[in-house]
A and B are shown apart, each in its own frame.
Chain A
Amino acid sequence: MVKVIEAENLGKKYIISHQPQSQYRYTALRDVIADRIKSFLQMAINYKNQKSLIPRHEEFWALRNISFEVNEGDRIGIIGNNGAGKTTLLKILSRITEPTEGKVKIKGRVASLLEVGTGFHPELTGRENIFLNGAILGMTKSDIKKHFDEIVEFAEVEKFLDLPVKRYSSGMYVRLAFAIAAHLESDILLVDEVLAVGDAQFQKKCLGKMEEVSKCAGRTILFVSHNMGAISNLCKISFLIDEGLLACIGDTQYVISNYLKRNLNNYNDKMRNFFGTLNSKLSFNKILINNKSQDIVVSPSESIKIQVYGECKADIPKFRLTISLFKRGFRLLTIHDLEKPETLPKCKFKSELEIPSFFIRPGEYSIAAGGYCENGTEWMWGTDLLSFYVSEEWSNKYESVNIGAVNLFHKGNRILFL
């Protein structure tokens, strides 16, 4: 195996300045001069007791102690929370920014795709932008000419080639931009979360293209994404970056479950996040899923038992407790503890709800809970109380295919007219 990337001890430091009036993101010379004078005066005044000096600048390590090796043809997924340093790593590898410490050795041609359509000019036509963007990404004119038809075909913009891209729909724009990048001929491809844009079908097409490219051409890919399905589909090995550190390297499934466990926080102190008119009468103390309150990973073959412990401080007439499931911010479903509202007397109580097995598909879900009286005047509600993950273990074939959020056990038949 040939090592194509060897990183040793990479680190990137940023200086965050705490200036009271730094509302602009750039420095003005005036401020610098005034600042120097001010801090000089402050130094002079506070010469005797230097402790009273407030530090104006704070160091922030976006990445630290990152060491890894990548072999030729590896497809590596990089996961981590927002702001963990994933993009910074790609920026260092692609030479956009230089590391503060450490060293990387890269063998081969590197192409990076941190954003689709960088350098697109709205006034230029699709055709012109293909050449411009290609050149920006590092293609030569002959390369672009060679792939021109493929790019146009992939992007499905044939009819609009001579229209300025400012008149394109956003879908067309993204398709064209990705198509150009997908036809880069490089040995190492660094891809940031660029597929988050575009519709599901196009995302699938792009992932397919990336897979094809890496499998056929033996290209090395480093792929940053929040889409666990895409990562597990495309990458065998993954890195987990957590607060600037390389927290975990290994088999993708292992790294993903590690990541999800880290992320499924203990939400119990979020039990105070409720609002609504019933907030004074009713309090929710604990929510358990399959008897767990953190690190909840549910197998699809298990049913999901939700238990809500609460206390009622005054009688609430005709009340129903409600649980909603959110998937990526979308409210997937809402269920109730009782079929018909009933009076909840002053007492402690426990409500149990159950979602049958094989019903919701793999992914991360977040729970919101609350309740309301039948006439709708009194209610309470709290979101993001707890989250859990449904793992991908059943019917392997369809695991990562986007076929929706739920499995419905439905009826269907086929009649053949032979």
Chain B
Amino acid sequence: MLDDKNDVLIIEAGKSEKRYWADLWKYRELFYFLSWRDILVRYKQTVIGIAWSIIRPLLTMIVFTVIFGKIAKLPSGGVPYPILIFTALLPWQFFANAVQESSNSLIGSANMISKIYFPRMIIPGSSVIVAFIDFLISSFILIILMFFYKFLPNWKIVFVPIFLLIALIVSLGIGLLLSALNVKYRDFRYVVPFIIQFGLYISPVGFSSDIVPEKWRLLYSINPMVGVIDGFRWAILGEKVKFYLPGFIVSIIFILILFILGFMYFRKTERTFADRI
């Protein structure tokens, strides 16, 4: 079992758990098992199974290339358009999946929440991890694309993990916020798909942020995914992409605000989940 024999636990009205972090650590295996369950279950009774995590981004990429690259003829700054799109599609799909899955995760586990104690953060957290696994799988498409177009990234690619971490923080922050809100107000079930659909068009997925007029650029960066996507492009596409630092800083600030907000709201409402759900 998890706790020490001589640990004294005090449960008191209105007091937040002092050993929350210790608990979170103790329950790390549950974290692992839940992610593992979601991954195992995801493609059970499907014919092509895990190929779905390849097919979906691949088709989206093709559609976007045709619409934005061929029909709208947007500039790509010398980068093959499929690669330009895919470097943005990867973090975007990670974000979209993570937010979608985690915002519904608490409601989906209502039974567990009302019957067993564990740090509730594990549930949306493990949904983010599942989305991350999908991200890793679809990254292979990017590698294949790069071989195909004989596109060689430069040394800046070592920064990818940093932007990945930022993407993780955004997704977790928004996921925590939405999942906790969803417990109380089921409206968010309908809000989330809308945010994601809307976000795809206001984030620089189908095009490069360079086409945004200079004077609007800073405002545009309030969208936290702008910083993440631009970062990915900058790290992967090399020389051909300039780094817009002010915008990135704005994005980071908003990401941190979102994360702290999400985290605090989650912690505050967490104790009443079992009564509300």
- Surface stretch bound by A, among B66-74, B108-116, B131-139: B108-116
Contact bitstring A121-134, B, C-beta under 8 A = 1, else 0: 10110001001100
In the bound complex, what is the Cα–Cα distance between A11 and B13 (angstroms)? 9
Contact bitstring B31-42, A, C-beta under 8 A = 1, else 0: 011101100110
Confirm or deny: B10 has a beta carbon within 8 angstroms of a beta carbon on chain A: yes
Confirm or deny: B59 has a beta carbon within 8 angstroms of a beta carbon on chain A: no
Output the least CB separation between B115 and chain A (Å): 4
CB < 8 Å neighbour of B115 from A115, A124, A138, A141: A115
Confirm or deny: A94 has a beta carbon within 8 angstroms of a beta carbon on chain B: yes
In the bound complex, what is the Cα–Cα distance between A124 and B187 (angstroms)? 31
Instruction: State which residues 246-277 of B face A: CB under 8 Å.
Output: 271-272, 274-276
Output the least CB separation between B224 and chain A (Å): 23
The answer on a CB contact under 8 Å between A110 and B112 is: no
Instruction: State which residues 1-24 of B face A: CB under 8 Å.
Output: 1-14
In the bound complex, what is the Cα–Cα distance between A29 and B34 (angstroms)? 30
Task: List B contacts of A186 (CB < 8 A).
Answer: 1
The answer on a CB contact under 8 Å between A121 and B37 is: yes
CB < 8 Å neighbour of B118 from A11, A28, A107, A136: A136
Contact bitstring A160-193, B, C-beta under 8 A = 1, else 0: 0000000000000000000000001111000000
Task: List A contacts of B10 (CB < 8 A).
Answer: 103-106
The answer on a CB contact under 8 Å between A105 and B9 is: yes
Confirm or deny: A264 has a beta carbon within 8 angstroms of a beta carbon on chain B: no
Q: A97-B274, A118-B111 are in contact. Are A104 and B45 (CB under 8 A)?
A: no
Q: A29-B185, A123-B41, A135-B29 are in contact. Are A143 and B11 (CB under 8 A)?
A: no
Q: A27-B185, A128-B40, A132-B37 are in contact. Are A109 and B1 (CB under 8 A)?
A: yes
Name which residue of chain A comes closest to B8, CB basis: A107
Confirm or deny: B242 has a beta carbon within 8 angstroms of a beta carbon on chain A: no
The listed residue with most A CB atoms (<10 A of its CB), out of B5, B8, B115, B118, is: B115
Task: List A contacts of B7 (CB < 8 A).
Answer: 107-109
Instruction: State which residues 200-228 of B face A: CB under 8 Å.
Output: none
Confirm or deny: A119 has a beta carbon within 8 angstroms of a beta carbon on chain B: yes
Confirm or deny: A209 has a beta carbon within 8 angstroms of a beta carbon on chain B: no
Confirm or deny: A114 has a beta carbon within 8 angstroms of a beta carbon on chain B: yes
The answer on a CB contact under 8 Å between A139 and B11 is: no
Contact bitstring B160-201, A, C-beta under 8 A = 1, else 0: 000000000000000000000000111100000000000000
CB < 8 Å neighbour of B5 from A92, A93, A108, A131: A108
CB < 8 Å neighbour of B12 from A103, A110, A135: A103
Task: List B contacts of A29 (CB < 8 A).
Answer: 185, 187
The answer on a CB contact under 8 Å between B3 and A136 is: no
In the bound complex, what is the Cα–Cα distance between A128 and B113 (angstroms)? 20
Task: List A contacts of B3 (CB < 8 A).
Answer: 108-110
Instruction: State which residues 13-27 of A face B: CB under 8 Å.
Output: 14, 24, 26-27
Confirm or deny: B44 has a beta carbon within 8 angstroms of a beta carbon on chain A: yes
CB < 8 Å neighbour of A184 from B1, B13, B37, B109: B1
Q: A137-B116, A187-B5 are in contact. Are A104 and B185 (CB under 8 A)?
A: no
The listed residue with most B CB atoms (<10 A of its CB), out of A11, A119, A184, is: A119
Output the least CB separation between A140 and chain B (Å): 6
The answer on a CB contact under 8 Å between A138 and B1 is: yes
The DSSP consensus for interface residues of chain B is mixed
Contact bitstring A95-107, B, C-beta under 8 A = 1, else 0: 1111111111111
In the bound complex, what is the Cα–Cα distance between A185 and B4 (angstroms)? 12
Confirm or deny: B30 has a beta carbon within 8 angstroms of a beta carbon on chain A: yes
CB < 8 Å neighbour of A98 from B11, B30, B115, B116: B11
In the bound complex, what is the Cα–Cα distance between A98 and B109 (angstroms)? 19
Task: List A contacts of B2 (CB < 8 A).
Answer: 109, 138, 140
The answer on a CB contact under 8 Å between B117 and A112 is: yes
Q: A28-B187, A99-B12 are in contact. Are A123 and B116 (CB under 8 A)?
A: no
Task: List B contacts of A221 (CB < 8 A).
Answer: none
Task: List A contacts of B244 (CB < 8 A).
Answer: none
Confirm or deny: B27 has a beta carbon within 8 angstroms of a beta carbon on chain A: yes
Task: List B contacts of A131 (CB < 8 A).
Answer: 33
Name which residue of chain B comes closest to A8, CB basis: B12
Output the least CB separation between A186 and chain B (Å): 5
Output the least CB separation between A213 and chain B (Å): 13
Chain A residues within 8 Å of B, Cβ to Cβ: 11, 14, 24, 26-30, 32, 91-112, 114-115, 118-119, 121, 123-124, 128, 131-132, 135-141, 143, 184-187
Chain B residues within 8 Å of A, Cβ to Cβ: 1-14, 27, 29-30, 32-34, 36-37, 40-41, 44-45, 109, 111-118, 184-187, 271-272, 274-276
17 extra interface residue pairs, beta carbon distance < 8 Å, beyond A28-B187, A132-B37: A94-B117, A95-B117, A96-B117, A98-B13, A101-B13, A102-B12, A104-B12, A105-B9, A105-B10, A107-B6, A108-B5, A121-B41, A132-B33, A136-B116, A138-B1, A138-B27, A139-B1
Can you name 6 A-B pairs with beta carbons within 8 Å? A96-B114, A98-B272, A109-B5, A123-B44, A138-B1, A139-B1
